[in-house]
């Protein structure tokens, strides 16, 4: 290796380390707090402004929710430091069966997994 290549490699290492340090200092990755009823209703109002859900269920770990509006399920789950929202037919969601405290739903382009307190589905909140 010649001297110029070593200088370039050293400069690249320093630049990458500096970028990592700045990202850590700024707090680029921030934790998303678990959903509560108030936060869930606010999130539903933002993501589905034209819908008026009649029932709401929040996952046991607070990382997502399922709301019901007649024959439609409104599904919101945490992805990274934000949330993803999708609609699904209620019959598809109500026919699911949890396994080992987890409920997996296929909605469009995603497959969120929700934590359930027990293996009963659908819960009384959504029935």
Residues of the chain with pLDDT under 50: none
Report pLDDT digits (tens) over 53-89: 999 999 999 999 999 999 999 999 998 888 999 999 9
* Count of domains forming the chain: 2
Cis bond before residue 122 (omega within 30° of 0): yes
| Radius of gyration over every alpha carbon of the chain, rounded to an integer in angstroms | 21
Would 44 be classed as within a structural domain?
yes
What is the spatial distance between Cα 125 and Cα 21, in angstroms, rounded to a whole number?
46
Averaged pLDDT score across all residues of the chain:
90
Residue 19 and residue 60 in one domain: no
pLDDT of residue 29: 63
What is the spatial distance between Cα 91 and Cα 126, in angstroms, rounded to a whole number?
12
Sign of the CA dihedral running 35, 82, 32, 119: positive
**How many other C-beta atoms lie within 10 A of the C-beta of residue 93?**
21
pLDDT of residue 62: 93
pLDDT of residue 123: 87
What is the spatial distance between Cα 33 and Cα 45, in angstroms, rounded to a whole number?
18
Would 123 be classed as within a structural domain?
no
**How many other C-beta atoms lie within 10 A of the C-beta of residue 40?**
20
pLDDT of residue 125: 82
Residue 26 and residue 51 in one domain: no
Would 100 be classed as within a structural domain?
yes
Residue 61 and residue 107 in one domain: yes
Would 11 be classed as within a structural domain?
yes
pLDDT of residue 113: 93
Residue 43 and residue 7 in one domain: no
Residue 47 and residue 10 in one domain: no
Query: What domain range includes position 7?
Result: 1-30
Residue 74 and residue 111 in one domain: yes
Would 14 be classed as within a structural domain?
yes
Q: Is the pTM of this model over 0.85?
A: no
Residue 26 and residue 10 in one domain: yes
């Amino acid at each position: 290796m010649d001297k110029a290549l070593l200088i370039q490699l050293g400069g690249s290492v320093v630049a990458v380390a500096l970028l990592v340090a700045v990202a850590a200092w700024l707090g680029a990755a921030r934790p998303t707090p678990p959903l509560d009823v108030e936060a869930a209703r606010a999130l539903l109002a933002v993501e589905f402004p034209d819908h008026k859900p009649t029932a709401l269920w929040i996952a046991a770990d607070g990382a997502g929710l399922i709301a019901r509006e007649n024959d439609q399920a409104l599904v919101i789950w945490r992805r990274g430091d934000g949330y993803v929202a999708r609609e699904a037919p209620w019959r598809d969601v109500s026919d699911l069966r949890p396994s080992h405290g987890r409920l997996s739903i296929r909605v469009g382009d995603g497959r969120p997994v929700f934590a359930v307190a027990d293996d009963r589905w659908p819960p009384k909140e959504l029935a």
